[in-house]
């Protein structure tokens, strides 16, 4: 009897794609960019990753980095930004937070680092993942201030990924949308569903700024900038 777990050899004409995102957001975004980008295979784009978390784990940008892209990673957790400095040498890696105004905030660090947030979570039951294991005081800048200082001159933003644990609307409001307009915006919105998109504050905000829904995963809404009328 043949071993059902025997390795299957690679086909010489087929190279599988690898997703790093939590729910396949990078693989959903890729065909959207492919359809919207002339000569995509030779294109080296630029991304902004806010709440970047980790250079590989749950990353919406690592797939594109491997294709030669570069960008700005913004992550308030000091230990995490050290990993970006090590593994994302082409990127600009910032150990700051993004918020509605300049200042400082307390970052709560949890045993599950993807939950790190400027808001303190209320544990449900005996959930060890929500145990606070440390805090840090983090410098906060608006998104417009950050892009004004760090976005390279004459650089278009192909996509922006936002995962900031419920503070998305304050972050979106802190951008200058007339000046900094990504082609695509990915925002974590765990309570949204296609049948009630109008109930999402994130959806309404981006719709008011001339973006339309282009895709959705379990946790993330993907928006595309509308073409000029």
pLDDT at 126: 46
pLDDT at 123: 53
pLDDT at 125: 45
Task: Kindly state the average pLDDT of the residues 217-228.
Answer: 92
Q: What is the pLDDT of residues 62-88, one digit of tens each?
A: 999 999 999 999 999 888 889 999 999
pLDDT at 4: 55
Backbone angles phi, psi at 32, to 5 degrees: -65, -45
Choose the CATH number for 25-35+48-100+156-225 among 3.30.450.20, 3.30.56.10, 3.40.640.10, 3.40.50.150.
3.40.50.150
More confident residue, 222 or 116: 222
Residue 167 per-residue DSSP state: -
pLDDT at 227: 82
What residues have CB less than 8 Å from 229, skipping those under 6 apart?
none
Question: Which range among 1-5, 148-152, 188-192 has the greatest average pLDDT?
Answer: 148-152
pTM above 0.95, yes or no: no
Q: What is the pLDDT of residues 95-140, one digit of tens each?
A: 999 998 999 988 888 766 667 767 776 655 445 567 777 788 999 9
Q: Which burial class, exposed, middle or buried, applies to 93 when counting CB atoms under 10 A from its CB (0-12, 13-18, 19+)?
A: buried
Q: What is the pLDDT of residues 135-175, one digit of tens each?
A: 889 999 999 999 999 999 999 999 999 998 777 899 999 99
Question: Of 44, 53, 19, 11, whose CA–CA distance to 162 is shortest?
Answer: 53
pLDDT at 21: 97
pLDDT at 113: 62
Q: What is the pLDDT of residues 18-34, one digit of tens each?
A: 899 999 999 999 999 99
30 within 8 A of 219, measured Cβ to Cβ: no
Structural domain boundaries in the chain: 25-35+48-100+156-225
């Amino acid at each position: 009897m043949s071993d059902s777990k025997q390795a299957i050899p690679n086909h010489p004409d087929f190279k599988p794609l690898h997703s790093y995102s939590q729910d396949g957001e990078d693989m959903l975004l890729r065909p959207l960019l492919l359809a919207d980008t002339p000569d995509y295979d030779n294109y080296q784009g630029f991304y902004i990753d806010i709440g970047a978390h980790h250079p590989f784990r749950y990353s919406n940008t690592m797939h594109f980095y491997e294709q030669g892209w570069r960008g700005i990673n913004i992550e308030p957790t000091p230990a995490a930004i050290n990993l970006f400095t090590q593994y994302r040498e082409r990127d600009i890696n910032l150990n700051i937070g993004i918020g509605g105004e300049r200042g400082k905030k307390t970052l709560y660090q949890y045993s599950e680092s993807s939950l790190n947030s400027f808001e303190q979570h209320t544990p449900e039951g005996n959930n060890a993942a929500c145990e606070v294991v440390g805090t840090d005081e983090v410098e906060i800048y608006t998104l417009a201030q950050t892009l004004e200082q760090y976005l390279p001159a004459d650089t278009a933003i192909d996509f922006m990924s936002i995962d900031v644990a419920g503070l998305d609307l304050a972050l979106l409001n802190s951008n200058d949308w007339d000046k900094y307009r990504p082609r695509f915006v990915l925002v974590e919105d765990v309570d949204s569903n296609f049948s009630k998109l109008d109930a999402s504050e994130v959806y309404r905000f981006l719709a008011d700024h001339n973006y339309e829904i282009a895709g959705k995963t379990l946790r993330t809404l993907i928006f595309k900038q509308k073409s000029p009328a």
